[in-house]
Amino acid sequence: MSGGNVLEIRKISKHFGAVQALAEVDFMLERGEIHALCGENGAGKSTLMNIVAGILAPSSGEIRLEGLPVHIGSPAEAQRLGIGLVHQEIALCKDATVAENILMAATNARRAPLMNFSELNRTAQKVMNRLAPIPVTRRVGALSISNQQLVEIAKALTLDCRVLIFDEPTAALTEAETQALFCIIRGLKQRGISIIYISHRMAEIFALCDRVTVFRDGRYVSTDRIAEVTPDHVVRRMVGREITQLYPEKLAGEPGAPLLEVERLSDGAQFSDVSFTLRRGEILGLGGLIGAGRTEIALGVCGLAPTTQGSIRVDGQPVAIADYTDAIRAGIVYLSEDRKHSGVFLDLSIAANVSALDLRKLTRNGLVDRRLELTQAITLCTRLGVKMGAIGDPVSSLSGGNQQKVAIAKQLSVKPRVIIMDEPTRGIDVGAKSEIHKLLRELAADGVGIIVISSELPELLGISDRVIVIRGGRIAGEVTGAMTEEAVIRLASGVGGNFADVA
């Protein structure tokens, strides 16, 4: 690794009012390296990256690019200096085509008064094909979230960058797409571009990066060569304490009686002939590639999407579920994968969020009983360890992990028999993640049936007692016993046929 530092960050601090988000942090990026930046949510990673990308101004400190001090006052200035950022949250124009989005910066800089669409599409397709063959004439809004993420990445690739920042780029990607992205990132490195890679996923960091820097609570902790540390080391530095076990203990002994029995469920389009049984005390994982139909099955079971065929039994009793209200009454609740859009009410209070699922319970004479509402919200939020100001504060004031806990508190408020959790820890830091895992295991032990959908294989295997793999809307097989990632991937991708038991 030669050529010295392309980007030097020295003693950068950032205050938001009284809150200190960054305290004199340092960060050195060498030319042509892939440098991982780790830390729990709130550690200050995103704040620092926003400063580097010109979105926020630092309170104090110095940034040097190629040895020269620079002032990065706006995103446009950052681009001019050759600093690109792939946002964690998708920031695309949903009504414009893929091509228009990818080349937005180029179009903005263009002098000609009229658009040249054929050239635009040709150029965009060339960039897009390096990641995935998504037709660039399609509207971005019509794409799946994972494809939108790829477009976001393609957009950054068009900029002529010296430094490229990836902020959790794989959160919504499948395994194959992730691998494609890694190839691209390595290609960029070959071309001398320096990369900052933010992620929570240790496996990715250790597969891709050269060095890793850890932040904790807005402070710099350490920088190491990847070859010289282990994932355990890094996690320990992130949380500042020993996490002896990443996942809670699995179920000891046999699971109990059947809690939820789904038989030959079909929706006539996205999935068909799905049958499975969830037993008391166990956590059942639903695996498969993005788009395999896992979420659709969950929505079908909960009455959030119509089904054409099949039956559902809870505790051996058949239940008719026409809409979600029926499901809630039968004790089946669904935690959405998309927290911001369908999980929480950001501008409403924490208490009001927790009550949303079953207002009838809190209603006396047609009025919401406030005392009951507050008691319920406080009890559940305390139990889940939600870090918050007041119970009347809007949910938007909480961090991602705490927002997710509020969403879970909402599910628990109805004392459910079965909770289907779709990507329960997406975009949540390591600490909160393991708290949620622990909580799931406790709930299961209390007799609540838990179904977990996760695209993160280590999590799926770590938390579940048993995994059903979905492929093309059908059950491809079941993985039990000593579960391996390989077994799940084989079933999910259809390699190696249908074997029902993988030891």
Partner 1 sequence: MSLSKQEELVAPPVRTGLSLGRFGAMREAGLIVIILALCVAMSFASPHFATWGNVRAMLMSFSIEGIVVVGMTVLLIVGGIDLAVGSVVCFAMVVGGSMFLMGLDPWTACLIAIGASALVGAGMGFFVTVVGLNHFITSLAAMVIVRGLCLVITKGTPLSLFTLPPEFKAIGQGEFNGVPYVIIIFVVIVVLFDFLLRRATAFRKVFYTGSNEKAAEYSGIRTRQVKFWVTVLCSTLAGLAGVIYMSRFGAATPTFGVGMELNIIAAAVIGGASLTGGAGTIFGAILGIALLSVVTSSLILLDVSVYWQDMIKGCILLAAVSIDHFLNRRKS
Q: Where along the sequence are the contacts to partner 1 (CB under 8 A)?
A: 304, 323-325, 327-328, 334, 336, 341-349, 352, 355-360, 362-363, 366-368, 370, 374-375, 378-379, 382, 390-394, 396, 410
Name the minimum Å distance from CB 360 to partner 1. 7
Name the minimum Å distance from CB 375 to partner 1. 7
Name the minimum Å distance from CB 486 to partner 1. 34
Name the minimum Å distance from CB 147 to partner 1. 20
Q: Of 215 and 334, which has the nearer Cβ to partner 1?
A: 334
In this structure, the strands spanning 19-30 and 274-279 are unpaired
Q: Of 152 and 358, which has the nearer Cβ to partner 1?
A: 358
Q: Of 208 and 305, which has the nearer Cβ to partner 1?
A: 305
The token duo for 296 is 């659709």
Question: What percent of the chain is helix, strand and coil (3-state, nearest 5)?
Answer: 35, 25, 40
Q: Measured between alpha carbons, how far is 312 from 455 in angstroms, rounded to an integer?
A: 25
Give the N- to C-terminal CA distance of the chain in Å, as an integer: 43
Name the minimum Å distance from CB 453 to partner 1. 15
Q: Of 97 and 336, which has the nearer Cβ to partner 1?
A: 336
Name the minimum Å distance from CB 455 to partner 1. 19
Name the minimum Å distance from CB 442 to partner 1. 20
Name the minimum Å distance from CB 295 to partner 1. 12
Q: How far is CA 86 from CA 74, 169, 193, 195, in A?
A: 16, 7, 14, 11
Q: Measured between alpha carbons, how far is 392 from 397 in angstroms, rounded to an integer?
A: 11
Q: Of 213 and 355, which has the nearer Cβ to partner 1?
A: 355
The CA radius of gyration of the chain, in Å to the nearest whole number, is: 24
Q: Of 332 and 448, which has the nearer Cβ to partner 1?
A: 332
Q: Measured between alpha carbons, how far is 447 from 428 in angstroms, rounded to an integer?
A: 26
The token duo for 295 is 């979420």
Q: Of 129 and 342, which has the nearer Cβ to partner 1?
A: 342
Q: Of 253 and 366, which has the nearer Cβ to partner 1?
A: 366
Q: Measured between alpha carbons, how far is 305 from 126 in angstroms, rounded to an integer?
A: 37
Q: Which residues of 381-396 are buried (b: 16+ CB within 10 A; e: fewer)?
A: beebebebeebeebbe
Name the minimum Å distance from CB 261 to partner 1. 22
Tell how far CA 480 is from the center of its chain: 25
Residue 237: enclosing H or E segment and its boundaries?
helix 231-239
Q: Of 119 and 323, which has the nearer Cβ to partner 1?
A: 323
Q: Measured between alpha carbons, how far is 370 from 316 in angstroms, rounded to an integer?
A: 37
Residues 6+ positions from 187 with CB-CB distance below 8 Å: none
Name the minimum Å distance from CB 378 to partner 1. 6
How many C-beta atoms lie closer than 10 Å to residue 120's C-beta? Answer: 20
Residues 6+ positions from 124 with CB-CB distance below 8 Å: 98, 99, 102, 103, 136, 154
Single out the residue of 202, 199, 213, 209 nearest to residue 167, CA to CA: 199
Single out the residue of 156, 143, 153 nearest to residue 78, CA to CA: 156
Single out the residue of 41, 57, 78, 147 nearest to residue 429, CA to CA: 41
Q: Of 16 and 117, which has the nearer Cβ to partner 1?
A: 16
